[in-house]
Amino acid sequence: MPTLLFYILAAITLLSTVLCLTRKNPVHAVLYLVHALFALALLYFLLGAPLLAAWQIILYAGAIMVLFLFIIMLVESPVADQSSRRLSRWLPPAALSGSLLVCGGALIVMDPAATAVISSYWLTPRDFGCALFEHYGLAVEIISLILLFAAVGAFHLGRRYRPNSKEDVS
C-alpha cells in the first residue's frame, strides 16, 4: 500500500509540474505548482519526515505560493476569461486536488509512523533541529548570507533613482 501511494504521489508531482510549466496563465501555473509541492509534502510524510512535510506545506505550498499569487495579481490585471466558467476547465485541477485529498486521508489512516519502511529513521523535530544547527550550523549561516546579498543585489537592480542623481542631491 505505501508503495502504491508513493507511485500515485510521484505521478501527481510530475503531472502537476508539467502542467505548471505549460500553462499560459501564470495564476494557473502557480496553482499547479501548489499541487506539486503538496504532493511532495505527502511524499515526505510517507518517508517518515512529518516535520518536513508540515514545513513544506506551511512554507512552500502556503506562504511562498501565496506571495507568488499576490505578486502576479499586483503586476498584471487579470482578464476576465469567459471560458473559465466551463466545467471542463475545472476538471484537471479538481481531479488532482481530489486525488491529493484521498492520498492525504489514506496516509492519516495508515499512520506510516507505525509501518514506515525505514522506521528507525522516523525524524522527530528534536533530531531535525540537532542535525540542522549542530552539524550544519555553518551552512545555515551561509544560506542567510546568500539571502542577505540577494536582497542587496535586488535593491541595487530594482531601485528607481540613479546613483549619480543621489550624489547631486548630497
Partner 1 sequence: MIWDALLALLPFLILFIGSVSVLFVPERRALLFGVFCALLAAGFCWWPCAPVMSDLLLVSSGPFARGCLTVWALLGAATCLLSERYRESRRFASPEFAALVLFCVLGMSILAASTSLVSLFLGLEAMTLAFYVLIAFDRDNPTGAEAGLKYLLPGFLASALLAFGIALVYAATGTFTLQGNVSLPVGAAMHTIAILGWTLILCAIAFKSSLAPFHLWTPDVYQGAPAPVAGLLASGSKGAVFAVLLASIPLTLIAPMRPLLAALAALSMLAGTFAALPQTNLKRMLAYSSVVHMGYMVLAVLTGHQAGLEAGLFYLLSYGAATVAAFGLLASLTDSNGEPQNYAALEGLAGRSPWRAALLTLFLLSLAGFPPLAGFMGKFVLFSAALDAGYVWLVVLALFSSLVSCYYYLRPVVRLFRPSSSSVFSVVANGGELVVLGLCAIIIVTAGMYPGPFFRLIAAIAP
Which part of the chain contacts partner 1 (CB under 8 A), choosing from 64-72, 87-95, 107-115, 135-143? 135-143
As measured in angstroms, the least distance from the Cβ of 133 to partner 1 is 12
Contact call for residues 69 and 28 (beta carbons, < 8 A): no
DSSP-derived secondary structure for 126-160: HHHHHIIIIISHHHHHHHHHHHHHHHHHHHHHH-S
Contact call for residues 123 and 48 (beta carbons, < 8 A): yes
As measured in angstroms, the least distance from the Cβ of 79 to partner 1 is 27
As measured in angstroms, the least distance from the Cβ of 134 to partner 1 is 8
Distance CA 12, CA 83 (A): 25
Contact track, partner 1, 112-131, x by CB under 8 A: --------------------
Asked if 150 is part of the footprint of partner 1 (rule: CB under 8 A), the reply reads yes
Which part of the chain contacts partner 1 (CB under 8 A), choosing from 67-75, 98-106, 122-130, 139-147? 139-147
As measured in angstroms, the least distance from the Cβ of 147 to partner 1 is 9
- The upper half-sphere exposure of residue 99, i.e. CA atoms within 13 Å in the direction of its Cβ, equals 19
Nearer to partner 1, 94 or 131 (CB): 131
Looking at the chain, list the stretches that DSSP marks H as alpha helix, in order from N- to C-terminal side: 2-22, 26-46, 50-55, 65-75, 87-110, 112-115, 125-130, 137-158, 163-169
Out of 77, 81, 162, 169, name the contact with partner 1 by CB under 8 A.
162
Q: Which of 50, 155, 64, 46 is nearest to 106 (CA)?
A: 46
Binding site for partner 1 (CB under 8 A): 135-136, 138-139, 142-143, 145-146, 148-150, 152-153, 155-157, 162-164, 167
